[in-house]
Amino acid sequence: MIDPSAVSLDGKVALVTGAAQGIGEATALALARFGADVAVCDRQADGLAATAKDVRALGREAVEAVLDVRDADASEAFVRDVGARFGHVDVLVNNAGGGFHAPVMDVSAKGQRALVDENFTSVTNFVRPCVPLMPAGGSIVNVTSIEAFRAAPGFGIYAAMKAAVESLTQTLALELSPQGIRVNTVAPDAIPTPGDRSLGEAAHGDASPESYGAKVPLGLGEPDDCAGVVVFLASNLSRFVTGTTIHVDGGTKAASGWTRRPDGGWTP
């Protein structure tokens, strides 16, 4: 029987990457509000410190580390520290990622390596050391993007890596199911954050976020919209959900190019 306790994260430990701002910050705070102690990491020291401070203000413990998620040794060392502090990791949210705007043919080998490591290798950098610390009932949530499901001119390598994480998620869901660990993805879109402001300007030119919102049935969202879905996937409410993707995009994927007119109709 489902009751309100199913959403409680009391006694659980969550690790969130890329937690200094945007979706990562909102997710770390939401998990704390629902009872989890939270470990956070990011390259941005000031934002990360603010997130950790806010977690503690909610009455939960916080562990923080300034690191680059592309650095396997640093990532593993942080997970070891979290394990030493708490003894277990119940929830892993692979949120860190990013990119730059450039046609595929203009991306250098060095730039491609950076995109692969930041958006794909970073996920495996945390999955490998966290899984041995996860008890049955553990949950891994990988944050991808709508770009994993459509063409992405100017963001081709980034999108390909998000698609790779989608595939990896399904495989991990099967491989880790005997241990009772669930693995899912969240695919956001139309959620403005500080980290993607410059990317939006590069892709859309002078167009405002509101103009993109016209393509989104529910309009623009906010980081808490994604954080709420992560809380669901971290909790016992989703105990039979694994190997799937929840699109937190206000209906962008469903719209598939349809644009809302001022009169409320839709134009393909």
Output DSSP code: residue 121.
I
Neighbours of 50 (CB within 10 A): 15
Choice among 34, 120, 126, 158 that is catalytic: 158
Q: Give the Cα separation of 204 and 247 in Å (integer).
A: 22
Q: Is there a catalytic annotation at residue 212?
A: no
Exposed (0-12), middle (13-18) or buried (19+): which is 192, by Cβ within 10 Å? Answer: middle
Bridge partners (DSSP) of residue 60 are none
Take residue 263 and report the two structure tokens written for it.
Answer: 């009169």
Per DSSP, the three-state class of 216 is coil
Look at residues 221, 216, 120 and name the one whose alpha carbon lies nearest to residue 172. 120
6-40 CB burial, b ≥16 within 10 A, e <16 = ebebeebbbbbbbbbbbbbbbbbbbbbebbbbbbb
* Concatenated DSSP letters of 43-76: S-HHHHHHHHHHHHHTT--EEEEE--TT-HHHHH
CB 82 within 8 A of CB 62: no
Could you give the count of Cα atoms lying within 13 Å of 218 in the half-sphere of its Cβ? 14
Specify the amino acid at residue 152.
A
Question: Which residues are annotated as catalytic?
Answer: 158
